[in-house]
Amino acid sequence: MNLCIDQGNSRTKVALMTDEGKMINHFIYKQFGSSDVERLFDLYDITDSIISSVVNIEAAVVNTLARRSQHFVLFDHNTPVPIVNRYETPQTLGQDRLAAAVGAKSLCPDENLLIIDAGSAITYDFVTADGEYIGGNIAPGLKMRFTMLQRMTKKLPLVEAEENEHIPLFGKNTRDAIAAGVIRGVAYEVKGYMRTLREKMPHFQTYLTGGHASYVLNNVRTSRNEKREIHFEKNLVLIGLNEILCYNKLKIEK
């Protein structure tokens, strides 16, 4: 069994997966340390592990994973991946973005892919049908947009995305106006990327992931075509990490 760890800015997502990509279990931690790693190895038949982080990883976590795993991957820009990375500065590319791209490619191997991760920031990445990651863009996430509206104005309140899963087209009060402006603004941003790509290449699929993906998805799906083209996968990064771990295990075995 493989232990896949995705350490983000605000939480750590963990999955137990097989080499075939089946997810056995998954967990979310607000705080994650070496004691949590020990507990997972004690409870489950884990043989191999991988960790990716957008923050500094505790040395104790790395040491515990390396000690208790037959194969351990500390995912960084030097780690071999099963797609071609065309990013000009691979050392600055977030591991979560690359892992999500690998995950999407494993789920839809023969298509051009737009991968959108709606987390603390919203990232837009593109992988060709030939398996080349050609780059992407970074934009402020929902929470960041809500927070900046409140901090950079004198009278606007702070609005949380969780309060506004279903929002109006136009707000009739200030809170709804902020919610509609931010969430629909992101939704129209997503549609804009899809429309532009559709003009350049008729055939592509879109994968949406991240903590705020559901709020975006509720306001993007407006046509039958878009429903077919957008795939919501909340564990896309973990799926990609498992693929990267298996890819590196095969390279070692060969």
Domain ranges across the chain: 2-74, 93-237
Note the CATH architecture for domain 2-74: 2-Layer Sandwich (3.30)
Same CATH topology for 2-74 and 93-237: the answer is yes
Cα distance between residue 14 and residue 208, in whole Å: 19
Say what the pLDDT of residue 201 is.
Answer: 85
Q: Are 212 and 189 spatial neighbours (Cβ–Cβ below 8 Å)?
A: no
Please report how the helices 174-200 and 213-220 are oriented relative to each other, as an axis angle in degrees rounded to 10.
70
Say what the pLDDT of residue 222 is.
Answer: 52
Query: Which residues are identified as catalytic?
Result: 96
pLDDT beyond 80 at 88:
yes
Q: What digits encode the pLDDT tens for the residues 91-137?
A: 999 999 999 999 999 999 999 999 999 988 999 999 999 999 999 99
pTM for the predicted model, two decimal places? 0.91
Superfamily of domain 93-237: ATPase, nucleotide binding domain (3.30.420.40)
Q: Read off φ and ψ for residue 25, nearest 5 degrees.
A: -160, 160
DSSP classification of residue 234: T
Highest mean pLDDT among 9-13, 152-156, 209-213: 152-156
The larger pLDDT score, comparing residue 119 to residue 25, is at 25
C-alpha distances in Å from residue 4, one per residue of 24, 75, 243, 245: 11, 11, 10, 8
Say what the pLDDT of residue 55 is.
Answer: 83
Mean pLDDT value across residues 198-209: 90
Q: What digits encode the pLDDT tens for the residues 172-199?
A: 999 999 998 998 899 899 999 999 998 9
pLDDT beyond 80 at 167:
no
Sheet (strand 23-29) strand order: 23-29, 12-17, 2-7, 48-53, 71-74
Say what the pLDDT of residue 160 is.
Answer: 83
105: its two tokens: 């490619």
